[in-house]
A = this chain, B = another copy of it.
Amino acid sequence: MSAPHVIRIGLCGLGTVGQGVWKHLDHASAELESRLGVKLEITVAAVRDKKKKRTVRIPATKITDDPIAVASDPAIDIVCELIGGTDVARDVTLAALALGKVVVSANKALICKHGAEIFAMARKHGGHFLFEASVAGGIPIIKSLREGLVANRFPLIYGILNGTCNYILTQMEEQDIPYASVLADAKALGYAEADESLDVQGWDTAHKAAVLTYLAHGVWVQTEQMVVEGIDRLTPADFRHAATFGYGIKLLAIIARDFATNELSVRVHPTLLPESHVVAKVSGVFNAVSVKGDVVGTTLYIGRGAGQDATSSAVISDIVDAVALLRNDRRAFITSRKEAATKGRPLGDCRLAPAEHIRGRYYLRLTVKDRPGVLAQVASVMAEKNVSIASVIQNRADRPDAASIVLTTHESNERAIQATLARLAKLPSMVEAPLLLRIGDFAD
């Protein structure tokens, strides 16, 4: 028998995920090599600081501080871009793809910002860009959408894509603790970053929504084209009110496409979900993705959305797919939807749904001066904007001399509710800006 072919892997970035990939690939290598019939070798790891202590033992000869050199080295077959950010990561990715390599990345911000350029570079030079770890951690959602559900079109995808936010919301709901306290705890436990804004304001979820939108529909929607609202204005009272109506609250990404009109909407916002809904039960750092396919119906995927181990699991599955691509006729790789057809038109055949076509029911929390006639004013604004009230709870607010009015509406649309919100905000009796939440009426 001849010696097995060696596949050479370069790691760019040796932080939490990079060290996890090293550790778990080392652990699984004998089994993987016997199944793949090739030898997997991490040839080099590029780091920012060569002196830094790490939990995995890596020979000094394998460490470099030049990630571009790793990406450009003709001896390296697979480049794992685990640097994060969108600057060096972009340079590394493009340099490797220009040489026809396979790049494996967990970097949703990179894909969201430079995806069109990255995939064009891959196509041009016969390289491939794999990104299973970029959404929902260890859940194989990218492979499921791209391959397992290949027979389907996707009218609706929604899910919990940020474990930090789901942890915070779960704690607020279960422990009845204010947002700020839970956030402080989450930081102390390492569940939230020092700068939490990317997570709690919904941008990380929006990046992942952009990746799923590309996979499901082959088009690029930028985060500024989405409705993106975070969780930082929620209070424990919102959870109590929602429970009164029979709902829990989750930060969801929602990607909806009407195939009759080709209108697409991508949204990220806290959403009231019926307590009996399986996704409402997904708690703590777990992620969940619900995928409605026109053939298969609804399938749901749940798992840890982040962390060294879950992310490493996804990166290693991409490395294994990369091995198959490197040994094969690479054209046989199934491309993303209509990737070729969109040529320079980021939205391809789709257009963004106008606000009046995004329909739903709403939850409004108004903090108002505690005096007579305010509810009448609110109700008349809503009638004027043609938004019909379904239920009302009025009680004392969390602040003195103020009342809280919580309303749910019958079905309306984003344009009408935003107009209502703008008008309500101007009422002299309004003590703080109204809080708007959406109600998720998902059948599955």
Contacts and interface: CB of A to CB of B under 8 A. Distances in A.
Interface string A295-332: 11111111110000110111011001101100111011
Contact of A300 (B148, B303, B314): B303
Given A144-B143, A327-B332, A297 B310 contact: yes
Nearest to A290: B302
A143 B317 CA distance: 11
A32 interface: yes
B25 A151 contact: yes
B328 A332 contact: yes
Interface residues of A, number: 61
A34 interface: yes
Interface string A329-342: 10111111110110
List the number of copies, as a whole number: 2
B35 A151 contact: no
Given A324-B332, A324-B333, A299 B296 contact: no
A124 interface: no
Given A295-B138, A296-B138, A328-B328, A334 B35 contact: yes
Given A299-B302, A328-B328, A151 B338 contact: no
Contact of A147 (B139, B301, B317): B317
Given A24-B295, A34-B338, A324-B332, A147 B143 contact: yes
A302 B296 CA distance: 12
A35 B328 contact: no
Contacts of A152: 28, 313
Contacts of A301: 299-302
A168 B139 CA distance: 30
A289 to B, nearest CB: 11
Given A282-B278, A323-B332, A331-B37, A151 B28 contact: yes
Interface of A: 24-25, 28, 31-32, 34-37, 132, 137-140, 143-144, 147-152, 276, 278, 281-282, 293, 295-304, 309-310, 312-314, 316-317, 320-321, 323-324, 327-329, 331-338, 340-341
15 contacts: A24-B151, A28-B150, A34-B338, A35-B334, A37-B331, A143-B144, A150-B320, A151-B316, A281-B281, A293-B313, A296-B303, A297-B310, A300-B302, A301-B302, A324-B333
